[in-house]
């Protein structure tokens, strides 16, 4: 992406942040639909505003999953290190509910006791009125494992 495009993205972020602040809000949690902020040119635009606005939180690139290509894992590791350097705070792990429940129960317990985990869900009720994450039933067992 060329510099002009990055500058335009930065200016749009800046306008949105200024509007947010003008409404009296103060918490600065940055994430994006479809995770576009994890695209490095977009993040480049965002990081220029990080010190200007003292960003409190930026969502990591998804790292709570097993598998994935080596180049993708390397990129995510690089990106997440940059986020942790820029943001006041962030989670240790971020992933979907499906990513989360793919771990064996004992491993989940260990993660919960040692890491800060952000889980992305799209809650809805199924036809039987059961709580779902899009098309996956949300198990009561997960709340027990998490100590909720």
Give which of 45, 41, 59, 53 is closest to 10, Cα–Cα.
Answer: 45
Which domain does 126 fall in, by range?
Answer: 92-148
Domain boundary among 51, 75, 90: 90
**Same-domain pairing of 72 and 97:** no
Report, as an integer, the average pLDDT of 128-138.
88
Residue 103 CA, chain-centre distance (Å), reads 19
Q: Give the pLDDT score at 66.
A: 83
**Same-domain pairing of 69 and 101:** no
**Same-domain pairing of 86 and 96:** no
**Same-domain pairing of 123 and 140:** yes
Taking the C-alpha atoms of 113, 116, 120 and 125 in order, what is their torsion angle to the nearest 10 degrees?
40
Average pLDDT value for the chain: 89
The pTM for the full model equals: 0.82
Q: Write the pLDDT tens digit of every residue in 24-47.
A: 998 778 887 788 888 999 999 988
* Cα 132 from Cα 137, distance rounded (Å): 4
**Same-domain pairing of 86 and 124:** no
Q: Give the pLDDT score at 56.
A: 80
* Cα 67 from Cα 16, distance rounded (Å): 36
**Same-domain pairing of 101 and 86:** no
Number of domains in the chain: 2
């Amino acid at each position: 992406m060329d510099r002009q495009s990055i500058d335009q993205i930065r200016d749009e972020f800046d306008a949105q942040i200024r509007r947010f602040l003008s409404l009296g809000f103060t918490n600065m949690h940055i994430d994006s639909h479809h995770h576009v902020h994890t695209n490095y040119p977009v993040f480049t635009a965002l990081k220029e505003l990080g010190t200007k606005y003292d960003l409190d939180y930026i969502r990591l690139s998804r790292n709570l999953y097993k598998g994935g290509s080596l180049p993708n894992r390397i990129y995510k590791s690089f990106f997440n290190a940059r986020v942790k350097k820029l943001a006041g705070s962030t989670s240790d792990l971020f992933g979907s509910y499906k990513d989360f429940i793919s771990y064996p129960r004992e491993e989940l317990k260990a993660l919960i006791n040692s890491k800060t985990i952000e889980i992305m869900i799209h809650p809805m009720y199924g036809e039987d009125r059961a709580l779902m994450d899009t098309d996956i039933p949300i198990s009561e067992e997960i709340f027990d494992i998490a100590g909720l």
